[in-house]
């Protein structure tokens, strides 16, 4: 009897899976290569954890399947971790710091964000041997030989150094014919991450120069201090001519440095930056409709498919939280929406908005086609009226 029940359950699951992910009707022999380059997800095992500073840890992860290499990536990209905390299944993106020239393992530097949901959990609970589900590598912040030229300026704030560590490893290992200046802003000397890695790279490659700038320098610090101003940038790089700039840091740091670069006359198309992620307080973002009563509960109606049938659920949400977070918090497994960047960049969470109004931070760009057909990115969209989503339309 027990076996029959198991069989029936498996049959039901298979039917449901076939509806959601129908078996492809063609095979062209490239499926294995495609899956290797762009796996739907990767199961990773934590093999090492190292404390880098008071609030940052380094995690090394390998593929769970010993013979399977990890998906390749470009230096500067990130992977998304999908984890379950107190029955809430959610994901967060983390930049890769390891070199893309080896795929035996990935390394990530994760900073514990005070008041955060995922990073404090990873920081406190993850142990060697744990298995973590991750996305394929994603993100647009990487060196582009055609458009970025040979003179690169990396401007990093705190843990924003992580994609640059991977890029510097790549450049130094392959001895690329480039000139690189890195201005690395931190609070104190203890907050300088990967200090030895950076020292070692500079020792081996004379065309890579790293300058640490401390905003809360102690009396014994003899290096640069203060903020990353235009004067400091010019002092380090000489002139802005034929240089390409990358900025990675928190939102205030980015806006500050961007204004300094503008004053120096750096055109926008010579500046790249990483996606910002979710703001700490959406009501402080430019354009937020101040007339909204933030204490009022919003209703989200969701159409979705289960076992071939269209069903509907209504959940309560807050206008100050991204729609995706509210859906995840609702603990409805059948409502799972894929996500990666959580910044409106990767489009994995793209969802049809049937009606209702949302607020999106002004720096997030939406494709014209999505605007015309009312598709939104719930990871970075905030409901400001009751809304209706349809998860069946893609």
Residues that bind ligand FES (CB under 6 A): 339-342, 344-349, 377, 379
Q: Least distance from C-beta 381 to ligand FES, angstroms?
A: 9
Q: Least distance from C-beta 391 to ligand FES, angstroms?
A: 14
Closest by CA position to 194, among listed 206, 208, 210, 178: 210
Residue 83 CA to residue 12 CA, distance in Å, equals 26
Q: Least distance from C-beta 91 to ligand FES, angstroms?
A: 8
Task: Compare residues 103 and 347 and give the one whose CB is closer to ligand FES.
Answer: 347
Q: Least distance from C-beta 346 to ligand FES, angstroms?
A: 3
Task: Compare residues 151 and 325 and give the one whose CB is closer to ligand FES.
Answer: 325
Task: Compare residues 74 and 342 and give the one whose CB is closer to ligand FES.
Answer: 342
Q: Least distance from C-beta 341 to ligand FES, angstroms?
A: 4
DSSP state letters, 301-359: EEEEEETTEEEEEEEEEETTS-HHHHHHHTT-GGG----SSSSSSS-TT-EEEEE--EE
Task: Compare residues 257 and 353 and give the one whose CB is closer to ligand FES.
Answer: 353
Task: Compare residues 16 and 375 and give the one whose CB is closer to ligand FES.
Answer: 375
HEC string for 62-127: EECCCCCCCCCCCCCCEEEEEEEECCEEEEEEEEECCCCCCCCCEEEEEECCCCCCCHHHHHHHCC
Q: Two tokens at 51?
A: 């404390």
Q: Least distance from C-beta 8 to ligand FES, angstroms?
A: 36
Sign of CA dihedral 48, 53, 55, 56: negative
Task: Compare residues 89 and 150 and give the one whose CB is closer to ligand FES.
Answer: 89
Q: Least distance from C-beta 224 to ligand FES, angstroms?
A: 36
Q: Least distance from C-beta 347 to ligand FES, angstroms?
A: 5
Closest by CA position to 180, among listed 147, 220, 219, 210: 210
Residue 20 CA to residue 14 CA, distance in Å, equals 10
Residue 221 CA to residue 212 CA, distance in Å, equals 10
Sign of CA dihedral 14, 15, 20, 21: positive
Residue 322 CA to residue 364 CA, distance in Å, equals 13
Q: Least distance from C-beta 138 to ligand FES, angstroms?
A: 8
Task: Compare residues 278 and 332 and give the one whose CB is closer to ligand FES.
Answer: 278
Residue 74 CA to residue 148 CA, distance in Å, equals 15
- Decide if 357 contacts 387 (C-beta within 8 A): yes
Task: Compare residues 43 and 348 and give the one whose CB is closer to ligand FES.
Answer: 348
What letter would DSSP give residue 9? H
Task: Compare residues 170 and 274 and give the one whose CB is closer to ligand FES.
Answer: 274
What letter would DSSP give residue 23? P
């Amino acid at each position: 009897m027990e076996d029959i029940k198991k069989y029936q359950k498996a049959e039901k699951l298979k039917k449901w899976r076939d509806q959601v992910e129908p078996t492809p009707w063609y095979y062209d022999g490239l499926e294995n290569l495609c899956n290797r380059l762009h796996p739907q997800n990767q199961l990773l095992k934590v093999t090492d954890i190292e404390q880098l500073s008071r609030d940052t840890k380094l995690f090394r992860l390998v593929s769970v399947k010993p013979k399977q290499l990890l998906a390749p990536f470009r230096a500067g990209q990130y992977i998304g971790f999908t984890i379950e905390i107190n029955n809430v299944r959610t994901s967060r993106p983390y930049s890769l710091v390891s070199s893309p020239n080896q795929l035996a393992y990935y390394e990530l530097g994760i900073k514990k964000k005070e008041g955060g949901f995922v990073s404090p959990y990873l920081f406190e609970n993850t142990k060697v041997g744990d298995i973590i589900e991750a996305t394929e590598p994603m993100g647009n912040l990487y060196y582009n030989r055609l458009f970025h030229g040979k003179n690169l300026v990396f401007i990093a704030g705190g843990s924003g150094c992580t994609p640059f560590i991977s890029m510097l490893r790549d450049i130094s290992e392959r001895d690329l014919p480039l000139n690189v200046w890195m201005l690395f802003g931190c609070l104190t000397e203890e907050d300088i991450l990967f200090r030895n890695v950076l020292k070692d790279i500079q020792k081996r490659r004379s065309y890579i120069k790293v300058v640490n700038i401390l905003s809360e320098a102690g009396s014994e610090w003899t290096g640069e201090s203060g903020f990353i101003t235009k004067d400091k940038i010019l002092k380090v790089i000489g002139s802005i001519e034929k240089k390409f700039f990358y900025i990675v840091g928190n939102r205030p740091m980015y806006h500050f440095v961007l204004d300094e670069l503008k004053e120096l006359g750096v055109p926008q198309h010579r500046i790249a930056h990483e996606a910002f992620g979710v703001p700490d307080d959406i009501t402080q973002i430019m354009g937020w409709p101040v007339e909204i009563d933030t204490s009022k509960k919003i209703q989200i109606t969701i159409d979705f498919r289960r076992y071939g049938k269209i069903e509907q659920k209504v959940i309560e949400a807050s206008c100050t939280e991204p729609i995706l977070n509210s859906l995840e918090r609702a603990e409805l497994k059948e409502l799972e929406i894929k996500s990666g960047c959580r910044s409106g960049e990767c489009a994995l969470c793209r969802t049809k908005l049937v009606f209702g109004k949302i607020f999106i931070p002004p720096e997030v760009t939406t494709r014209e086609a999505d605007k015309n057909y009312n598709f939104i990115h719930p990871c970075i969209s905030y409901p400001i009226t009751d809304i209706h989503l349809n998860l069946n339309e893609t």
